[in-house]
């Protein structure tokens, strides 16, 4: 069997206990549609397959696909030999639960792509670097609170399920990993008109572009209008006009965005 490919960010999960725990956490019922992203050598797949025999898997590495077919044997599952970033999740059917041990190098991009299918994607259960997971589940006023936090929590509450040590992977990474989960809010498409999602996320991205500065100052520099306009808007929200971007949660960012665009 060929070894992990560094350029693909491959760290294969090898500890059955953690794989079984991650598979058990997927909040789907029997018969619901499930997609595994980046199954690798199938450590997680074998446990998911026990619960969801008709699941779909998407894997870019052709060598791994052949090994995976050999490991999983015959069945009703379907492997898509494609790059997940170009893969149409609709091939797995909707509504859809998505799971996987994500490659370190494009984990955040996969998370973004997955959640932008909401509400057709109803949940994601992903294993990522612990540092990334901590940013995703962080709260306002935390230094870890950033664009990824606000993006993910727009779709639903983000929950850290458990941590996974380096020894559970081959090759052994230099960092811990964590499994987190987001169950997408049923009303996610009513929080903000879908056509405004990208604009909202860009607005938040602008806000976090110079996080040591006050938010009003950042928005003035990035989007125009004077600092007082943004500071007054924050005060109208019941906040201090001198707050920094990490002091706002997702709901406050949405409120701020609406107020700024209404003026």
Compute the C-alpha angle 138/118/75, nearest 5°: 105
DSSP at 146? S
Pairwise CA distance, residues 183 & 48, whole Å: 18
Q: Which residue has the tokens 């446990």?
A: 47
Q: Give the confidence band of 174 by pLDDT, cuts at 50, 70, 90.
A: confident
Pairwise CA distance, residues 45 & 36, whole Å: 7
pLDDT in tens, 31-54: 999 999 999 889 999 999 999 999
Q: Is the predicted pLDDT of residue 121 greater than 60, yes or no?
A: yes
Pairwise CA distance, residues 98 & 125, whole Å: 6
Least confident span in 61-65, 80-84, 256-260: 61-65
Q: Is the predicted pLDDT of residue 193 greater than 90, yes or no?
A: yes
Q: What is the pLDDT of residue 9?
A: 46
Across all residues in the chain, what is the average pLDDT?
93
Q: Is the predicted pLDDT of residue 124 greater than 70, yes or no?
A: yes
pLDDT in tens, 201-220: 999 999 999 988 999 999 99
Annotate 79-136 with DSSP letters as a single string: EE-S-GGG--GGGG-SSEEEEEE--TTTHHHHHHHHHTTTTTEEEEEEEEEHHHHHHH
Q: What is the pLDDT of residue 2?
A: 47
Q: Is the predicted pLDDT of residue 5 greater than 70, yes or no?
A: no
């Amino acid at each position: 069997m060929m070894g992990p490919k560094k350029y693909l960010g491959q760290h294969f999960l090898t500890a059955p206990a953690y794989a079984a725990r991650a598979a058990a956490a997927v909040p789907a019922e029997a018969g619901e549609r499930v997609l595994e992203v980046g199954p690798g050598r199938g450590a997680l797949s074998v446990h998911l397959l026990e619960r969801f025999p008709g699941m779909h898997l998407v894997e870019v590495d052709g060598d791994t696909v052949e090994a995976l077919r050999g490991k999983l044997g015959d069945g009703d599952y379907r492997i898509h030999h494609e790059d997940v970033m170009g893969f149409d999740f609709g091939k797995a059917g909707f509504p859809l639960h998505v799971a996987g041990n994500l490659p370190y190098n494009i984990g955040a991009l996969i998370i973004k792509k997955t959640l932008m299918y909401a509400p057709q994607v109803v949940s994601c259960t992903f294993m990522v670097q612990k540092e990334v997971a901590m940013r995703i589940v962080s709260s306002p006023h935390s230094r870890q609170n950033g664009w990824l936090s606000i993006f993910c929590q727009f779709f639903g509450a983000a929950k850290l399920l458990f941590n996974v040590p380096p020894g559970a992977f081959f090759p052994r990474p230099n960092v811990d990993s964590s499994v987190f989960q987001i169950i997408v809010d049923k009303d996610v498409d009513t929080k903000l008109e879908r056509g405004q999602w990208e604009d909202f996320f860009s607005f938040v991205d602008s806000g976090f572009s110079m996080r040591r500065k006050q938010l009003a100052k950042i928005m003035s520099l990035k989007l125009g209008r004077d600092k007082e306009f943004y500071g007054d808007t924050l005060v109208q929200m019941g906040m201090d006009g001198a707050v920094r971007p990490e002091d706002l949660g997702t709901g406050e960012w949405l409120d701020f965005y609406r107020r700024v665009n209404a003026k």
